Structure 1
Amino acid sequence: MEILDWIQQWFKSSCDGEWEQGQGIQIITLDNPGWEIEIDISKTSVAFLDLKWILNEKSKQDWYGIKIENQKFYAVGDATKLTFLLGLFKEMIEKIENE
């Protein structure tokens, strides 16, 4: 399943009449250029997770960072990393749900 199909399905299954009224999923662009993703995980199976900031920077054009804080998944990355960052979120959800 393609990552956009998966995230759409995950979003739809997470909607409960309230969750989607708040932060839900936000994807914005950065000016360096890059992507920023914020996903509310408060009503998910991974709401208990906490992850300190991890930055993986190979160069100014090849980098990403992630953290989980206050029941939110945060990820940023260079202009080529949107699919990769969404994939990290998917891996995290599937790993916890399959344990």
Structure 2
Amino acid sequence: MSNSQPLLDWLQSWYAQQCDGHWEHEWGVKIATLDNPGWTIEIDLEETDLEECEYPRQEVNRSTQDWVCAWTAEKTFHAACGPGNLTEALTLFRTWVTTTAS
């Protein structure tokens, strides 16, 4: 899975690789909106190659509309971000996956 692949195509491929007839019944990827406004992301790592890996909390606060925060907890990758930062947050996940799982 290359970093040159479009981000959503990459995420779809990562998800499909986790699906084994079992994982997708218990775990998955959740993207929702926040009311401040912004986005929240939860990506389950349980039963993946990353379940024991840690992503230390990272926060970037540029303004009330331009921010991103990402971390792992309880075998889940979490991110929250401003309304225009969804791509940035998902890119943090892709970068972490492609550098950790090598």
Instruction: Tell me the TM-score normalised to structure 1 length.
Output: 0.90
Q: Which has the higher strand share?
A: 1
Verify: 1:10 aligned to 2:24, yes or no: no
Runs of 4+ in structure 1 off by over 6 angstroms are: none
CA distance in 2, matches of 1:95, 1:53: 17
Gaps of 5+ in 1: none
| Range 4-13 or range 19-28, more displaced | 19-28
> Sequence identity of aligned pairs in percent?
36
Gaps of 5+ in 2: none
Instruction: Tell me the TM-score normalised to structure 2 length.
Output: 0.88
Alignment length, in residue pairs?
98
CA distance in 2, matches of 1:49, 1:97: 9
| Deviations 1:29-70, CA, capped at 9 Å, x for gaps | 111111100000112222112345332212111111111011
CA distance in 2, matches of 1:52, 1:89: 12
RMSD of aligned residue pairs (Cα, Å): 1.3
